[in-house]
């Protein structure tokens, strides 16, 4: 009996090692020898083979284990963490997708901090996992029974939403993704009506300029106070983040705010939305530069989008109109259904406001400055350009950066050099924190 027990323990250890390092053949051999091994767990952490495979991104082994119908995709370890939570923690996107496809519940809470897989993805900055989980929540029964907005703003045991965690850990791409999916920019860790930290407080503590820039552009209030009565400006000063403090200073100019309450803005196609967001961030960067210069803070310029360098091959552009409002930039946005065109910056001037008004229940739709009709839909203006290398016409989207004076327009008779035709919003550099091994003792900072 003792010999059989010793062999059993040895096989378990060999199975977990093979799963961790992706030795598929060894895993198959051991499971064929003893199918009950698939339900065994590690001694201390109680991690199953599925937990270990998901945390290490061994997608082939995850698929093999899930083929066994007796395996629960929501099996719990010692800390009530599911395989999906560990996959989201380590940024293993293929495992996240497979587990969700297999029916893993995205609305499970662990016993460490009362966090879901959405919290894990936001905390560790894995935006691809975050997007997959949000897409699943939008299309699953959770959106109907629990509510998608409620899921996006789900709180952990300390009252922190995924947006709080992403802002605290300096993940601007996750911050933007959550805000774009309805995260409350001024949510408090203290709950409704109770003082607590907002995402802006935690971004000020973490010292991320990109996160602060995103939160301010989505209407974060610089005057909200936490449980200690501090505004974000005071928190930034306490943690010696001088550049962040300069932006958060209540006496500095208000940033331009993305008009998320407007229905037609929320329903924009992705190309038009990217152009308008890029234009908004450029306007706020100009404001930010003046503030930082006045405070004596020298910071590196924000990351720009990695546009294709195609301006050397472009020799001629046609059908491009100069904006008749500012006479400074090419038209990038077209109003539907009247067809009038404007540059992205002038469109923002019509749609954006300097500070949200919480007392206003209904935000009136902006009006086209040319025909005075309500703006119901915006689309991107397509510009036809000729590329010398291939001698063919391409339809590309114009960028808010494209500038052309009246004089140069008359001299070139329509010829121009375009820069940054691919308008893709940049949110700074994301640093992944996934590792090859499971770590349940996560270094979660106290709020």
pLDDT at 397 over 90: no
CATH 1.25.40.20: does it fit domain 2-152?
Answer: yes
Give the pLDDT confidence of 248-281 residue by residue, as tens digits.
999 988 887 876 655 556 666 677 777 777 777 7
The more confident residue out of 128 and 8 is: 128
Average pLDDT over residues 211-240: 93
Q: Which tokens is 119 given?
A: 């919290």
Per-residue pLDDT, 435: 36
pLDDT at 386 over 80: no
Maximum Cα interatomic distance, the chain, rounded to a whole number of Å: 95
In angstroms, the Cα distances linking 97 to 19, 101, 157 are: 19, 6, 26
Q: Nearest Cα to 115, choosing from 93, 133, 135? A: 133
Per-residue pLDDT, 302: 46
Q: Hey, how many other C-beta atoms are within 10 angstroms of the C-beta on 78?
A: 14
Q: Nearest Cα to 230, choosing from 247, 248, 212? A: 248
pLDDT at 155 over 70: yes
Give the pLDDT confidence of 162-180 residue by residue, as tens digits.
999 999 999 999 999 999 8
Q: Under CATH, domain 314-355+365-412 is a member of which superfamily? A: Zinc/RING finger domain, C3HC4 (zinc finger) (3.30.40.10)
Q: Nearest Cα to 329, choosing from 225, 409, 410? A: 409
Do 359 and 340 form a contact (C-beta atoms < 8 A)? no
Per-residue pLDDT, 246: 92
Range list for CATH 3.30.40.10 in the chain:
314-355+365-412
Range list for CATH 1.25.40.20 in the chain:
2-152
pLDDT at 418 over 80: no
Q: pTM of the prediction?
A: 0.72
The more confident residue out of 205 and 300 is: 205
- What region does 332 belong to: left with phi over 0, alpha with psi -120 to 50, or beta? alpha
Q: Hey, how many other C-beta atoms are within 10 angstroms of the C-beta on 223?
A: 9
Weakest mean pLDDT among 140-154, 246-260, 401-415 = 401-415
Which residues, listed in sequence order, are joined to residue 348 by a DSSP beta bridge?
Answer: none
């Amino acid at each position: 009996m003792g010999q059989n027990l010793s062999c059993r323990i040895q096989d378990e250890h060999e199975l977990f090692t093979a799963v961790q390092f992706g030795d598929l053949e060894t895993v198959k051999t051991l499971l064929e020898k003893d199918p009950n091994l698939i339900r065994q767990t590690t001694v201390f952490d109680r991690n199953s083979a599925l937990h270990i495979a998901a945390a290490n991104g061994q997608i082939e082994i995850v698929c093999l284990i899930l083929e066994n119908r007796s395996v629960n995709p929501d099996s719990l370890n010692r800390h009530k963490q599911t395989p999906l939570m560990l996959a989201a923690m380590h940024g293993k996107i293929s495992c996240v997708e497979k587990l969700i496809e297999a029916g893993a519940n995205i609305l499970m809470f662990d016993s460490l901090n009362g966090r879901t897989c959405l919290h894990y993805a936001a905390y560790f900055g894995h935006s691809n996992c975050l997007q997959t989980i949000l897409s699943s929540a939008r299309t699953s029964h959770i959106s109907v029974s629990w509510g998608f907005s409620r899921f996006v703003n789900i709180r952990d045991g300390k009252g922190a939403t995924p947006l709080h965690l992403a802002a605290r850990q300096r993940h601007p791409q996750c911050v933007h993704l959550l805000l774009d999916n309805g995260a409350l920019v001024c949510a408090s860790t203290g709950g409704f009506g109770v003082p607590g930290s907002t995402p802006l407080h935690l971004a000020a503590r973490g010292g991320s300029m990109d996160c602060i820039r995103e939160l301010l552009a989505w209407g974060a209030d610089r005057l909200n106070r936490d449980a200690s009565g501090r505004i974000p400006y005071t928190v930034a000063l306490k943690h010696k983040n001088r550049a962040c403090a300069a932006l958060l200073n209540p006496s500095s100019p208000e940033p331009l705010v993305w008009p998320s309450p407007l229905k037609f803005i929320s329903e924009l196609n992705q190309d038009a939305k990217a152009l308008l967001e890029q234009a908004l961030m450029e306007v706020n960067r100009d404001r930010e530069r003046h503030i930082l210069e006045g405070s004596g803070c020298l910071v590196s310029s924000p990351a720009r989008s990695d546009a294709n360098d195609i301006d050397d091959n472009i020799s001629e552009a046609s059908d491009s109109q100069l904006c008749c409002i500012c006479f400074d930039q090419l038209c990038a946005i077209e109003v539907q259904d009247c067809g009038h065109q404007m540059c992205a910056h002038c469109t923002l001037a019509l749609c954006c406001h300097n500070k949200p008004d919480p007392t206003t229940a209904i935000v009136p739709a902006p009006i086209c400055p040319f025909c005075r009709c309500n703006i119901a839909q915006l689309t991107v203006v397509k510009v036809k350009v000729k590329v010398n290398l291939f001698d063919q016409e391409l339809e590309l989207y114009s960028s808010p950066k494209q500038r052309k004076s009246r004089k140069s327009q008359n001299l070139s008779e329509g010829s121009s050099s375009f820069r940054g035709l691919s308008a893709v919003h940049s949110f700074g550099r994301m640093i992944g924190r996934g590792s090859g091994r499971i770590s349940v003792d996560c270094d979660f900072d106290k709020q």
